[in-house]
Amino acid sequence: MIKHKNILKSIGIVTILLFSSISIAQQKQARIVEDFNKNWNFKLGDYPTAIQSNFDAKDWRTLQLPHDWSIEGAFDKDSKTKQAQGFLPAGKGWYRKVFTVPANWKNKTVSVEFDGVFKNSEVFINGKSLGIRPNGYISFGYDLSQYLNFGKENIIAVKVDNDAQPNSRWYTGSGIYRNVRLVASEKLHVGKWGTYVTTPEVSETKSKIHLEVTIDNDNVTAKEFKLVTSIVDAKNIEVANFSSTEKIGAKTTGKKVHDLVLNQPKLWSTENPYLYKVITKIYEKSKLVDNYETPLGFRYFNFDAEKGFSLNGKPTKIYGVCLHHDNGALGAVENINAVRRKLKLMKEMGANAIRMSHNPHSLEMMQLCDEMGFIVQDEAFDVWKKKKVTNDYHKDWDAWHKQDLEDFIKRDRNFPSVMMWSIGNEIREQFDSTGIAITRELAKIVKSLDTTRPVTSALTENIIEKNFIYQSGALDLLGFNYKHEDYKDFPTRFKGQKILASESVSALETRGHYDFPDGIKAWPVKHGAPFDGNADWTVSAYDQVKSYWGATHEENWKTIKKQDFMAGTFIWTGFDYIGEPDPYPFPARSSYFGIVDLAGLPKDVYYMYQSEWTTKPVLHIFPHWNCKAGQEIDVWAYYNNADEVELFLNGKSLGKKSKQNDDLHISWKVKFETGTLKAISRKDGKVVLEKEIHTAGEASKIDLKADKITIKNDTYDLVYVTVSTVDKDGNVLPNATDLINFEVTGGGKLVGVDNGYQANLDSFKANSCKLFSGKCIAIIQSNGKKENIQLKASTGNGISVGSLNIKVE
Ligand code: GAL
């Protein structure tokens, strides 16, 4: 179908109406959006004949998407995916679904939308190929209308080819790992990602809204229609509207523009992420033919070469974390509940920003950043034309980078949380002159679609003569990864440039494991030299082990904190992720870089950030108090909002300490003795907080703590249960390693277990999990039955069984 572009600017009168409604706005929905995740068949391997309607898929598994087959496999030292991807399998797989569409959809445009398929997907409808999509992170869709059997059965088949390995520097997952939707609209409708909203002027007194709507007319006749824009607030109350009468030719795509003004808008900020929505409606005569929602937030921000970043005029340091897309034990499977849990943990730590490392993330991730108040650095690529690993995206670069970048921007440009476009992470082309032209080309593509955010790139080379991406002059904001000692030179070296530490730290820790005495160790001393780590593949949690290119959390934060010109930083990483277990080889299979472990259990340094990045009172002491008699223990405390902390062992004071100069923690050397370690923080002589840790005795029962007490019976909702063994007084046994067996009955099923131990080779899909540093988690997902869920946990070694009831709503 050939479409002609016509761009019309609507002329009309802006009306600002509070609580108004227009007479034709009775009907609310015309567009049909259906969950298309259920009842797919799946089989590992290559089945080209599965596209045919008579193909027999009886022996294929039936499952609900999103699905990741890699996470179901076993860790294998010889896996083609190698260490970087966590030694899990990849390969090829096919998905197939039989579905019917109502006969009365015959006059509609029907499309299928995939949020992400890893990778090299090819989608077939009723035997016809709709297209291929090599990039595993990009969202895409196809118009199915001309191929569908209306009122009858249809077959959709998806081939996924993740066989060529290695193709990534981290765990990717394999399969249709994000959501799929079926969308039906009338032939006259808003196009795919067809709205673009900007706020050319923002203030608390008055803001301007500029909306561009791309409209597809798939009819064979020209159409006259009414285009209605209404702005609704967070309670869905209309606060402004505008309408215009428009014309569009047959089989044409056209762009229409609406400009509105809103008095006294509530601003979007990281503390109060107030969201409005733009509701776009198309009417033919008085019939609603399409409705479409676009997120809208009013905020203004600025990067300044001397003063760093500000949001709505307020100086704001970017307290950011980098995140990869995996959801721990769920693998790459996208689930909004898993993402919400991750972001909640980051928010409580005080983070106000997320860097989408190093690829487009899910729609849910973006929506939650809007809703929960995170500043987003949205990142498109980890490689351009020059490879990092044999089969990575460099192979698809020439054919696909333009379309992928355009689609990425179009999908994400309406999210108010997005404040930077990163065109690449540590791209090889920064080291040679080809980097100049590519940077300019990419920046031009971004600017053709959005000029409201700066274009940046995460660079490693800070010597001007050696950095060709910088030399392109096409970056609005310079992102530098690591080398924090060099920051002090940047204001003179990069005079007048806006600068951000796009990636920092890469320190390593294993939750709950402590090497005594503490003291900073760089890993490895020389690149390629063996790491003299621990025999059990653990790394001490004292924030003392750092990569040779990185810094400890404290070293880095002390530097960033003092430098006003530095907009902020993104810590590598908020969570451990599968893959990149450097410096250890197999059996280590997930990273050590997280502030929080893979299971979502915070490491101690989480509280260092909390004490610095929030104003809520913090007092965290560690390690645990089950050590060897007479052993000398380094007791650390992170605290804030106090002048001093006093430590007591079994009631006896071990002295008061306070942070000197730029200290971020205080510590005592304490001879271990069984009993109670207690810390009291005081300000002006008044107690701020008290914390006690006790030596735990014999295990007496299994303790189960769920993150919520009810679950929706929607087949997606999750409950995360933290499991530990406790003594008769309720003290957690910090060194317990018991194997816990799980049994789930009622309206839920066990979908993942994990203990955060980076070298654990047991399956994330097992019905049991060993405690590590005293803890593990069990993830329960609704199975759709409206029955309350019971989780039973047992050790089989005499510790009394734990049980937990979860109410299903
Ligand atoms: C960075 C890179 C990240 C990750 C990290 C590990 O250089 O950008 O993707 O590999 O190192 O320290």
Give the pLDDT confidence of 406-458 residue by residue, as tens digits.
999 999 999 999 999 999 999 999 999 999 999 999 999 999 999 999 999 99
* Among candidate residues 740, 720, 724, the one with its CA nearest the CA of residue 773: 724
Both structure tokens of 154: 């249809």
Does the CB atom of residue 576 touch ligand 1 within 6 A?
no
Give the mean model confidence (pLDDT) for residues 182-199.
98
pLDDT score, position 2? 35
Please report where in the chains the tokens 């990163």 appear, as a residue: 422
Ligand 1 centroid to 533 CA: how many Å?
A: 20
CA distance 706 to 718: 10
Q: Rounded to whole angstroms, how far apart are CA atoms 304 and 32?
A: 45
- Who contacts 24 (Cβ-Cβ below 8 Å, separation ≥6)? 226, 228, 283, 286, 288
Could you check whether 187-296 and 701-808 share the same CATH topology?
A: yes
Q: What angle do CA 118, 60, 44 make, to 5 degrees?
A: 40
Residue 92 pLDDT exceeds 60: yes
What average pLDDT does this structure show over 764-791? Answer: 97
Q: Which residues, in sequence order, are CB contacts of 789 under 8 Å at separation 6+?
A: 711, 719, 744, 745, 746, 747, 748, 780, 805, 806, 808
- Look up 348 and say whether it is catalytic: no
591 lines ligand 1 (CB under 6 A): no
Q: Strands across the sheet with 287-296, in order?
A: 238-248, 223-232, 276-284, 287-296
* pLDDT score for 531: 63
| Ligand 1 neighbour 425 (Cβ under 6 A) | yes
Q: Please identify, by atom number, the ligand 1 atom nearest to the C-alpha of residue 580.
A: 10
Q: Ligand 1 center to residue 582 CA distance, Å?
A: 10
**The predicted structure's pLDDT at residue 17:** 36
**What 8-state DSSP symbol labels residue 411?**
H
CA of 381 from ligand 1 middle (Å) equals: 13
Four-CA torsion 640, 641, 643, 647, nearest 10 degrees: -50
User: In this structure, what DSSP letter does residue 175 have?
Assistant: B
Q: How far is the CA of 332 from the centre of ligand 1 (A)?
A: 19
Query: What integer pLDDT is reported at residue 647 of this predicted model?
Result: 98
Tell how far the Cα of 703 is from the centroid of ligand 1, in angstroms: 37
User: pLDDT tens digits, residue range 692-731?
Assistant: 999 999 999 999 999 999 999 999 999 999 999 999 999 9
Atom 4 (ligand 1) nearest CA? 572
Task: Look at residue 17 and give its three-state secondary structure.
Answer: coil
Nearest CA to ligand 1 atom 2: 426
- Backbone φ and ψ for 703, nearest 5 degrees, come out as -100, 130
* Closest approach atom of ligand 1 to CA 482: 7
Residues with Cβ within 8 Å of residue 110, at least 6 apart in sequence: 101, 143, 144, 145, 148, 182, 183, 184
Query: Could you tell me the distance, in angstroms and rounded to a whole number, from the CA of residue 630 to the centre of ligand 1?
Result: 40
Of all residues in the chain, what percent carry a pLDDT higher than 70?
A: 95
The C-alpha atoms of residue 349 and residue 665 are separated, in whole angstroms, by 16
pLDDT of residue 800: 85
User: What average pLDDT does the segment 673-679 reach?
Assistant: 98
Tell me the torsion sign for CA atoms 700, 705, 710, 716: negative
The whole-number average pLDDT for the span 290-304 is: 98
| Helix runs in 459-571, H state only | 468-471, 490-493, 553-562
Q: Mutation test of ligand 1: which of 356, 462, 503 has the most ligand atoms closer than 8 Å to its C-beta?
A: 503
Residue 607: pLDDT band by 50, 70, 90 thresholds?
Answer: very high
Of 541, 634, 632, the C-alpha closest to 593 is 541
Q: For residue 18, what pLDDT band results from cuts at 50, 70 and 90? A: very low
Contact by Cβ (8 Å): 388, 429: no
Whether 604 has a pLDDT exceeding 80, the answer reads: yes
Determine the Cα angle at 232 with ends 228 and 235, to 5°: 150
Give counts: helices (H), strands (E), the chain: 8, 48
Predicted confidence at residue 492, as pLDDT, reads 96
Give percent above pLDDT 90 in the chain: 92
Question: Catalytic annotation on 426?
Answer: yes
Top CATH class of 701-808 equals mainly beta
Question: Does the structure show a pLDDT above 60 at 766?
Answer: yes
Query: For the chain, what are the domain ranges?
Result: 32-185, 187-296, 315-508+546-576, 701-808
The pLDDT of residue 11 is: 32
Report the chain's mean pLDDT, rounded to a whole number.
Answer: 94
Segment 535-592, tens digit of pLDDT:
899 999 999 999 989 999 999 999 999 999 999 999 999 999 999 998 888 999 999 9
- Edge-to-edge strand ranges of the sheet holding 686-694: 652-657, 644-649, 676-683, 686-694
Give pLDDT, residue 25: 46
Pocket residue to mutate for ligand 1, from 572, 576, 577, 580, most atoms within 8 A of Cβ? 572
Dig out the tokens for 16 from the structure. Answer: 């600002």
Substitution site in 426, 531, 545 for ligand 1 pocket (most atoms within 8 Å of beta carbon): 426
- The neighbouring-strand residues paired with 549 are none
- Identify the three-state secondary structure at position 465: helix
Q: How far is the CA of 425 from the centre of ligand 1 (A)?
A: 9
Quote the CA–CA distance of 265 and 16 in Å, as a whole number: 12
Q: Which of 122, 334, 379, 426 is catalytic?
A: 426
Exactly one of 503, 554, 580, 612 is catalytic; which is it?
Answer: 503
C-beta of 543 in contact with ligand 1 (< 6 A): no
| Residue-wise pLDDT tens digits, 140-172 | 999 999 999 999 999 999 999 999 999 999 999
Q: Which of 8-12, 76-80, 277-281, 331-335 has the lowest mean pLDDT?
A: 8-12
What is the best residue among 325, 580, 591 to mutate for testing ligand 1's pocket, by most ligand atoms within 8 Å of CB?
Answer: 580
Residue of 366 and 27 predicted with greater confidence: 366
Strands 252-263 and 206-217: antiparallel
Please tell me the residue having the least CA distance from ligand 1 atom 3: 572
Determine the distance separating the centroid of ligand 1 and the alpha carbon of 358, expressed in angstroms.
Answer: 10
- Per-residue confidence band for 517, with pLDDT thresholds at 50, 70 and 90: confident
Average pLDDT of 610-628?
A: 98
Q: Is 754 in the pocket of ligand 1 (CB under 6 A)?
A: no
Residue nearest (by alpha carbon) to ligand 1 atom 11:
506
List, in order, residues 6 or more apart from 556 with CB less than 8 Å away: 484, 501, 504, 505, 550, 569, 571
Residue 283 has pLDDT above 70, yes or no: yes
Residue pair 732/793 in contact by the 8 Å Cβ criterion: no
Determine the distance separating the centroid of ligand 1 and the alpha carbon of 83, expressed in angstroms. Answer: 14
Strand partners, 703: 724
Q: Whose CA is nearest to atom 6 of ligand 1?
A: 506
Q: Please, which residues bridge with residue 208 across strands? A: 201, 261
- pLDDT at residue number 12: 34
How sure is the predictor about 519, in pLDDT bands with cuts at 50, 70 and 90?
Answer: confident
Q: Tell me, yes or no, if the pTM score tops 0.85.
A: yes
Q: Which residue from 41, 69, 44, 46 is spatially nearest to 57, judged by alpha carbons? A: 41
Architecture in CATH of 315-508+546-576? Alpha-Beta Barrel (3.20)
Look up the CATH architecture of domain 32-185: Sandwich (2.60)
Question: 518 CB less than 6 Å from ligand 1?
Answer: no
Q: Is the distance from CB of 780 to CB of 805 less than 8 angstroms? A: no
| CB 506 near ligand 1, within 6 Å | yes
CATH number at 187-296: 2.60.40.10
Does residue 572 line the site of ligand 1, with CB under 6 A?
yes
